Amino acid sequence: MATHTLTTPSRRRATGHARRQRVGWLFITPFLVIFAAFLIFPLIYAFGMSLFSSTLATGTKFVGAANYLKAFTDPLFLGGLGRVALYAVVMIPAQLLVALVAALVLDTLGTWLAKASRLLIFAPYAIPVVIGALMWSFLYSPRFGPAGTIFGLFGLDAPDFLASSAIFGSLVNIVTWQWSGYYMIVIYAALRSIDPSIYEAARVDGASGLQIATRIKVPMIASSMVMVITFALIGTLQFFTEPTVLRSIASGALPAEYTPNMYAYALAFSYSQFNYASTIAFSLAIVVFIGSFGFLFLTRKQNGLK
């Protein structure tokens, strides 16, 4: 560093601070360039597109907010929203329950079996989502899957997992299998950070294992659980990959507009309505925004955010 003699302390501190700021910005610039090019500009462009309307017969014209009004009164979009809301109500508690119970059990037992189980439960998360969904599509297939053989052992007919009545449960199963491990690791890490002397104190006071788990551990990891639920909520509202992959074998049970994200995709790439697809995408973003911020507001005491 250059030698500064007899300068006042505050000026030296200010110079050093400004310099650090400049160097900091310099290092961020490559990332900022890519971030702006691939995220900010496309978002602005897509928002601009969503304000226009382009029909097959008459071409493009500016309509402004009328597109958004159309989106929020579109029965297909609202139906898709209702469906993902239902998925959220069923899938998030299911994933959370599996993750919580697994984390609590693994935290209590310290054996090598527990360590191995941790890896096994986490393993599905390491499988890419599309591969996992493809795998399950074969497992569900009446011809290629094991359901026929397994149910046949009990003398029963295998249910059709891909029929309209069963597709909801089938999709819940795939997502729970894939994501519970990830949430379990998050909760487990939070559990590991609790001081074990609290448990000893509780045992001295006469608490049983179950009471320790429910009265001490769960409240102390509340902020992690809120984070898990927020991620799960955002992910579920944007549900896309699994229904799309399953659609190739069950397109009767899964119409093109099954979830809002699938609807936006079909509008853009099957029906060539790019402007309305942008509108649907932004409308979904608005709903996700409201949903996640609303949830964080409701849990402001537990979520640990200021």
- Position 304: which residue type? G
Size of the site for another protein (CB under 8 A): 35
């226009």: which residue's tokens?
52
Choosing from 21, 164, 208, 214, the residue that interacts with another protein (CB under 8 A) is 164
Q: Does 250 bind another protein (CB under 8 A)?
A: yes
Q: CB of 16: closest distance to another protein in angstroms?
A: 10
Rounded distance between C-alpha atoms, residue 73 and residue 286, angstroms:
15
Rounded distance between C-alpha atoms, residue 286 and residue 268, angstroms:
19
Rounded distance between C-alpha atoms, residue 66 and residue 284, angstroms:
16
Q: CB of 181: closest distance to another protein in angstroms?
A: 28
Q: Does 271 bind another protein (CB under 8 A)?
A: yes
The per-residue b/e assignment along 69-82, b for 16 or more CB within 10 angstroms, e otherwise, is ebbeebebbeebbe
Annotate each residue in 30-69 with x if it binds another protein (CB under 8 A) or - if it does not, as one string: x--xx--------------------xxxx-----------
**Residues contacting residue 176 through CB under 8 Å, at least 6 positions apart:** 91, 94, 95, 98
Q: Does 208 bind another protein (CB under 8 A)?
A: no
Q: Does 248 bind another protein (CB under 8 A)?
A: yes
Rounded distance between C-alpha atoms, residue 138 and residue 246, angstroms:
9
Choosing from 274, 292, 295, 296, the residue that interacts with another protein (CB under 8 A) is 274
- List residues binding another protein (CB under 8 A): 1-2, 19, 22-23, 26-27, 29-30, 33-34, 55-58, 138, 141-144, 164, 248-252, 255-256, 266, 268-272, 274
